[in-house]
């Protein structure tokens, strides 16, 4: 099928900022835009309705197709690739069951506000309503409608004439202020439509804007409140994509002698070996963080990159609310004040906001009068003493004696301690759903440039078992490890074959307790027995 020429008269491409392509399909145009986005990999499973896209992938020197063993693995890999690289994650499947198989990983990304593009095929528009195999329109299994419930946007591109318009809008939505997963369904005859000449953008800034702006006056106000607070605490809720922002956070903490706790998703954004680190607060949190944040004498809480959800706040524990000020910095305005009323909300790029806050804080503290500086120095010493004393008295860990136990079977506490000793300085560690979450969050010590990645929003089992491959591709040359339970490994362990096939160096650390361990513990706590939680046949993963 041939499309009409996009431009019928000569175009001055140097003026318009457009690039002319000749004799290209819609699939070729799709690949060109993925290249503009810096996408390096597309994860998926082959199928008849996406042949044109696979052909374009085969021709591309910039984007590589990773053929996985299950579409669910593809979406988990795309999700983790996006989290670690900071780029758009892309997964691809054929129509019908291919699309539905891919859905859970897409939902996982959307719940944690990860920019991800899910592309699904669809039978030709000429067959709509005729009962075509795997028909995915409203006359069959309506994949666009299904994905619409789990993504920020779901569209079917039914006409090649609007292909570019819908595609660029979808890319904008994925990477807008409200980062999210998005979906496009492309019928086979649309993806294979040929344009004799077609104009595409030469840079992504031409079709989508960056979202870095924030009000500098609010940064100044936040710096003033921090500088005058008697007992401030910082709660960091996400990793930084910019290493300079991590250094800026450390500058803020050290300028104020202010303790820092991390949410489960923010673990490792601030070095956990630092004297001012309290460890993790929230699910599977460290004892020192829980004790300090519940002390009821915190007058200012600075929250960076967290909506303060259930996992983060231990079911919205009111004891963490400060006596005077709650400052919240987030890229998404919908997160500000969502669960706790704020004194000051700052919306914008988190990396830049933290850098600006560090600079403004140093200015304000250095220009203060001698009397004020002396008083602040006393406050700083008091806070430093309080943190050191608390950590010595309370400690970080539950059952620290088990971390050195020689008991067999090996205690998970000991296993995680031994893993800590094996981590390289820039290792990337993923923890899967279940007890693996808890052991890794509580007992691992993460220091930048090490990276800890956890998908808590949807808490999908098997996401790290498969997603670690995407993480490894996003961080070439870095040690990449997935801490998983046997249940999660059984769900997506087939992707070990994918890692072997493409020569991707990955380590799976499998905590084998012969069942659904977290379910077993929960059932024991609620009903006094492990109901339907243990396997009768164990698996030797070695």
How confident is the model over 255-308, as pLDDT tens digits? Answer: 999 999 999 999 999 999 999 999 999 999 999 999 999 998 899 999 999 999
* CA distances from residue 122 to 54, 130, 153, 523 in whole angstroms, order as listed: 14, 13, 17, 43
- pLDDT, tens digit (0-9, with 9 covering 90-100), for 300-359: 999 999 999 998 998 999 999 999 999 999 988 889 999 999 999 999 889 999 999 999
> Residue 540 has what pLDDT?
87
> Residue 381 has what pLDDT?
86
174 and 152 inside one domain: yes
* CA distances from residue 363 to 41, 178, 213, 229, 357 in whole angstroms, order as listed: 44, 32, 21, 16, 10
* Length of the chain measured in residues: 542
* CA distances from residue 93 to 42, 128, 540 in whole angstroms, order as listed: 10, 19, 32
- Please state the pTM of the whole predicted model: 0.92
Spell out the residues 6+ positions from residue 36 whose beta carbon is closer than 8 angstroms to its own: 200, 201, 202, 203, 204
Which residue, 150, 176, 206, sits at the end of a domain? 206
pLDDT of 80 above 60: yes
> Residue 506 has what pLDDT?
98
Residue 535 lies in a domain: no
Say how far apart CA 47 and CA 456 lie, in whole Å: 31
The residues facing 303 across adjacent strands are: 235, 328
- B/e letters for 116-143, b = 16+ CB within 10 Å, e = fewer, are bbbbbbbbebebbeeebebbbbeebbbb
> Residue 5 has what pLDDT?
43
pLDDT band at residue 446 under the 50/70/90 scheme: very high
411 and 301 inside one domain: no
486 and 458 inside one domain: yes
Q: Give the residue-averaged pLDDT of 157-182.
A: 93
How much of the chain exceeds pLDDT 70, in percent? 96
- B/e letters for 233-265, b = 16+ CB within 10 Å, e = fewer, are bbbbbbbbeeeebbebbbbbbebbbbbbbbbbb
ω into residue 9 within 30 of 0, thus cis?
no
- pLDDT, tens digit (0-9, with 9 covering 90-100), for 487-528: 999 999 999 999 999 999 999 999 999 888 888 888 888 898
Residue 4 lies in a domain: no
> Residue 187 has what pLDDT?
96
Ramachandran sector of residue 380 (left: φ over 0; alpha: ψ -120 to 50; beta: rest): alpha
> Residue 4 has what pLDDT?
47
Residues 246, 308, 235, 287, Cα dihedral to 10°? -120
Spacing of C-alpha 286 from chain mean position = 22
> Residue 512 has what pLDDT?
93
> Residue 8 has what pLDDT?
34
378 and 407 inside one domain: no
With 0-12 CB in 10 A as exposed, 13-18 as middle and 19+ as buried, what is 184?
buried
pLDDT band at residue 1 under the 50/70/90 scheme: low
Which residue, 365, 394, 423, sits at the end of a domain? 394
* CATH number where 479 lies: 3.40.50.970
What's the mean per-residue pLDDT of the chain?
A: 91
pLDDT of 9 above 60: no
Lookup: tokens for 223: 């710096």
Residue 248 lies in a domain: yes
Spell out the residues 6+ positions from residue 512 whose beta carbon is closer than 8 angstroms to its own: 485, 486, 538, 539, 541
386 and 431 inside one domain: no
When divided into structural domains, the chain yields a total of 3
Q: Domain span at residue 454?
A: 400-527
56-65, 110-119, 344-353: segment of lowest average pLDDT = 344-353
180 and 256 inside one domain: no
């Amino acid at each position: 099928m041939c499309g009409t020429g996009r431009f019928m008269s000569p175009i001055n491409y140097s003026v318009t900022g457009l690039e002319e392509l000749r004799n290209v399909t819609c699939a070729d145009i799709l690949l060109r835009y993925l290249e503009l986005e810096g996408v390096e990999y597309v994860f998926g499973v082959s199928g008849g309705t996406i042949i044109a896209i696979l052909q374009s992938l085969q021709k591309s020197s910039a984007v590589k197709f990773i053929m996985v063993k299950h579409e669910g693995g593809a979406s988990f890999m795309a999700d983790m690739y996006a989290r670690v690289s900071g780029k758009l994650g892309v997964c691809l499947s054929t129509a019908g069951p291919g699309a539905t198989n891919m859905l859970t990983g897409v939902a996982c990304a959307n719940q944690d506000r990860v920019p991800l593009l899910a592309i699904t095929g669809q039978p030709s528009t000429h067959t709509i309503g005729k009962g075509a195999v795997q028909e995915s329109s409203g006359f069959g299994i309506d994949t666009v409608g299904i994905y619409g419930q789990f993504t920020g946007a779901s569209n079917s591109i039914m006409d090649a004439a609007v292909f570019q318009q819908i595609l660029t809008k979808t890319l904008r939505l994925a990477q807008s202020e409200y980062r999210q997963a998005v979906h496009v369904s492309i019928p086979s005859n649309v993806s294979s439509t040929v344009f004799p000449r077609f104009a595409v953008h030469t840079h992504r800034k031409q079709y989508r804007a960056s979202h870095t702006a924030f009000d500098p006056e609010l940064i100044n106000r936040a710096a003033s409140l921090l500088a005058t607070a008697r007992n401030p605490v910082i709660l960091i809720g996400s990793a930084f994509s910019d290493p300079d922002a991590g250094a800026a956070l450390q500058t803020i903490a050290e300028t104020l002698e202010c303790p820092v706790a991390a949410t489960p998703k923010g673990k490792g954004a601030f070095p956990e070996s630092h004297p001012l680190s309290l460890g993790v607060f929230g699910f599977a949190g460290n004892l020192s963080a829980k004790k300090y944040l519940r002390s009821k004498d915190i007058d200012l809480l600075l929250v960076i990159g967290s909506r303060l959800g259930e996992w983060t706040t231990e079911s919205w524990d009111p004891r963490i609310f400060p006596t005077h000020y709650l400052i919240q910095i987030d890229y998404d305005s919908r997160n500000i004040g969502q669960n706790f009323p704020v004194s000051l909300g700052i919306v914008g790029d988190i990396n830049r906001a933290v850098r600006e806050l560090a600079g403004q804080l140093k200015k304000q503290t250095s220009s203060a009068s001698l009397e004020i500086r002396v008083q602040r120095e006393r406050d700083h010493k008091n806070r430093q003493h309080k943190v050191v004393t608390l950590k010595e008295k309370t400690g970080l860990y539950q059952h620290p004696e088990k971390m050195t136990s020689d008991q067999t079977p090996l205690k998970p506490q000991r296993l995680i301690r031994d893993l800590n000793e094996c981590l390289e300085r820039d290792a990337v560690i993923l923890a899967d759903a279940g007890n693996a979450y808890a052991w890794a969050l509580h007992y691992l010590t993460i220091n930048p440039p090490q990276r800890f990645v956890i998908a808590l929003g949807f808490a999908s089992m098997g996401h790290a078992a498969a997603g670690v491959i995407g993480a490894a591709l996003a961080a070439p040359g870095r040690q990449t490890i997935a801490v998983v339970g046997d249940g999660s490994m059984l769900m997506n362990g087939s992707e070990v074959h994918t890692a072997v096939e493409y020569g991707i160096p990955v380590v799976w650390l499998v905590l084998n307790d012969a069942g659904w361990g977290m379910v077993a513990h929960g059932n024991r706590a609620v009903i006094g027995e492990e109901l339907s939680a243990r396997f009768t046949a164990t698996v030797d993963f070695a």
